[in-house]
Structure 1
Amino acid sequence: MTTLTLEIEPFASQISVTDERLIVDLADGRSLSVPLAWYPRLIYASPTERQNWQLLGDGYAIEWTDLDEHIGIEGLLAGRRSGESQQSLERWLATRSSSAS
């Protein structure tokens, strides 16, 4: 018996960011909600920075240029959290505090 499997790449159509959650509406009608704590740069961002996102390509990823954060939709669906090391995050936070001074 042959089974046909269609590979449909998931694309985001809309993004919402609250103080606690990242909510992604997909083009196929599904919605995905994950804890913002999975992405430390979003936790440390201001509400204005969190809302300054754009979809890449047809919606295969989300980019926050102010935060240098990029999150792929396939990774979200797979339950992948940020892979950024604590050392990298601390360097990023230090550059933010020095540029705010």
Structure 2
Amino acid sequence: MASDFKIDYETDRPVEVSIHSGKVWVTLADGRTIANPLDWHPWLAEATPDQQANVELGVFSVDWPDLDEGLDVEGMLRGIRPYQSRSSESAASVI
């Protein structure tokens, strides 16, 4: 994507989130749905259904307060894989 990428509150804010089919899905205000593989987010994949369901939608983020973690909408739109520490990567490869 171009370096002049701009996120727009009217269109790019999250309005819904769901987790199924091995992905975390985010619906944006303009109706687009974006997704990341759940294995990109081991902290979310390993969470209980109650923890996964407790979601707060921010202006440009989706946050899971019980997990003290979240997703950045701009990163998802750009297809940026979140950074994972070596220990997280090792744990994810075991799953």
| TM-score with structure 1 setting the length | 0.71
- Shift >6 Å, 4+ stretches: none
Task: Name structure 2 gaps, 5 residues minimum.
Answer: 1-5, 90-95
Corresponding residue of 2:93: none
Quote the sequence identity (%): 36
Q: Structure 1 residues 28, 85: closer, same or farther in 2, change over 3 A?
A: same
The 5-angstrom pairing of residues 46-57 of structure 1 reads: 46-56=48-58
Corresponding residue of 2:72: 72
For 1:40, give the aligned amino acid.
Answer: P
The 5-angstrom pairing of residues 1-101 of structure 1 reads: 7-9=6-8, 10-18=12-20, 20-56=22-58, 58=59, 60-87=60-87, 89=88
Task: Name structure 1 gaps, 5 residues minimum.
Answer: 1-6, 91-101
Rg larger for: 1
For 2:34, give the aligned amino acid.
Answer: L
